[in-house]
Amino acid sequence: MHDLFAAEVRGLDLVAGPDGATFERIRDAFERFSVLVFRDQDIDDERQIRFSSRFGPLETTKVGTNGAGSQLVVLSNLGADGTIVPPTSRQMLNNRANQFWHADSSFKPVPARASMLSARIIPSAGGDTQYCCMRAVYADLPQRLKDAVEHRVAIHDYGWSRGRVDPELVTEEEKRVVPPVRQAMVLDHGACGRSLYLGAHAARVEGMPEAEGRALIDELMAFATQERYVYSHQWRPHDLVLWDNRAVLHRATPFRGSAEARHMVRTTIAGDGPTVAVPHVAA
Ligand code: OGA
Ligand code: MN
């Protein structure tokens, strides 16, 4: 679907469920293309959980996020009564936060491996999801920036990133459950190369004066999010998209959220380890 990454998988019947050999081919394609699009998958939550779980254990949704305590994240502007929630609600603000380039759960000691998003209700215009190929980005980084990120650690801080959207958005409880963590700035995917690992939660660079670290992050993010690295997914009803949070960043794009409904359901496949030996920030 893009010169660098993202592929469409055709002929998959999720109701029957792919057999073992087919699933291995999907897994290979996922490792290689980082974003997989499956069209026409009219699935419910249970079926989505079942298919996602074949890629690995799922994350449990943290407190303060729609779907807390379950294996689902519900990204929606609809309230429990099925009507659109007010623009100032937590739900709307959290949706707005998704418009910053990010990797899911990069604020956790073991960040997410993959996310699977199912389009249940989509607006007539806008509300695309964009993906940025961070392997191609790393490969293309000028040597000066490659040197700057080599063996570097960024501090990812949910309280900080959400606070930028609205200072009231993050609760004390959330800050307690997701304190800042250390993440490698470069991830190694073996045969698939290396990727730059950053995004909205990356607050500062360890061992660098705050302003200098911020300047580096901003320069890297500006380089990374150039149009040539971006695939924009225009949703159709019942699309299912799987992406590799360790190889791409993603963001939501705006739509007429006070007039039209958008309802998406995500499952998140946990990572199999931290990106650094010691992910916790020393007290
Ligand atoms: C997500 C996410 C963006 C969107 O599901 O993690 O950031 O377009 N979604 O809904
Ligand atoms: Mn996300």
- From 77, 107, 129, the mutation candidate for ligand 1 (largest count of ligand atoms within 8 A of CB) is 129
Domain for residue 33, yes or no?
yes
Q: Kindly report, residue by residue over 32-54, the tens digit of the pLDDT.
A: 999 999 999 999 999 999 999 99
Rounded distance between C-alpha atoms, residue 92 and residue 10, angstroms: 34
Q: Is the pLDDT of residue 222 over 90?
A: yes
Residue 165, number of CB atoms within 10 A of its CB: 18
Domain-located, residue 263? yes
C-alpha of residue 90 to centroid of ligand 2, in Å: 16
Domain total for the chain? 1
Residue 94's SS3 state is helix
72-100: burial string, b at 16+ Cβ within 10 Å, e else: bbbbbbbeeeeebbeeeebbbebbbbbeb
Separation of 266 CA from ligand 1 center, angstroms?
A: 8
Residue 283 pLDDT > 80, yes or no?
Answer: no
- The 10s digit of each residue's pLDDT in 78-124 is 999 999 999 999 999 999 999 999 999 999 999 999 999 999 999 99
- Would you say residue 90 lies in a domain? yes
The ligand with the least distance to the CA atom of 122 is 1
CA distance 227 to 112: 25
What is the full DSSP assignment across 161-227? HHHHH-TTSS-HHHHHHS--EEEESEEE-GGG-EEE---TTEEEETTS-HHHHHHHHHHHHHHHT-G
Helix 90-97 crosses helix 158-165 at what angle (to 10 degrees)?
110
Residue 281 lies in a domain: no
Q: Which ligand is nearest to the CA of 74?
A: 1
201 in contact with ligand 1, CB cutoff 6 A:
no
249 in contact with ligand 1, CB cutoff 6 A? no
Q: What is the pLDDT of residue 282?
A: 87
Q: How far is CA 38 from the centre of its chain?
A: 17
Please give the distance of CA 206 from its chain centroid, rounded to a whole number: 23
The answer to the question of residue 275 being in a domain is no
Ligand 1, pocket-test mutation among 98, 242, 248, most atoms within 8 A of CB: 98
Residue 174 is assigned to a structural domain of this protein: yes
**Which residues have C-beta within 8 Å of that of residue 272, sequence separation ≥ 6?**
56, 110, 113
User: How many C-beta atoms surround the C-beta of residue 227 within 10 A?
Assistant: 7
Of 87, 27, 52, 15, nearest in space to 265 by CA: 52
- Note whether residue 35 is domain-resident: yes
- What pLDDT digit, counting tens, does each position of 188-211 carry? 999 999 999 999 999 999 999 999
For residue 265, list its beta bridge partners.
Answer: 74, 118
Is any ligand 1 atom within 6 A of the Cβ of residue 117? yes
- Segments forming the whole domain that contains residue 250: 7-269
Which CATH number fits the domain that encloses residue 29? 3.60.130.10
pLDDT of residue 17: 85
Asked whether residue 257 is domain-assigned, the answer is: yes
Centre of ligand 1 to C-alpha 209, Å, is: 32
Q: Sign of the CA dihedral 274, 275, 276, 280?
A: negative
- The alpha carbon of 103 and the centre of ligand 2 are apart by a number of angstroms equal to 6
- For residue 235, what pLDDT band results from cuts at 50, 70 and 90? very high
Q: Is the CB of 252 under 6 A from ligand 1?
A: yes
Residue whose CA is closest, atom 10 of ligand 1? 252
**Relative to the alpha carbon of 251, which ligand is closest?**
1
Whether the per-residue pLDDT at 172 is higher than 80: the answer is yes
Which residue's CA is the closest to the ligand 1 atom numbered 7?
98
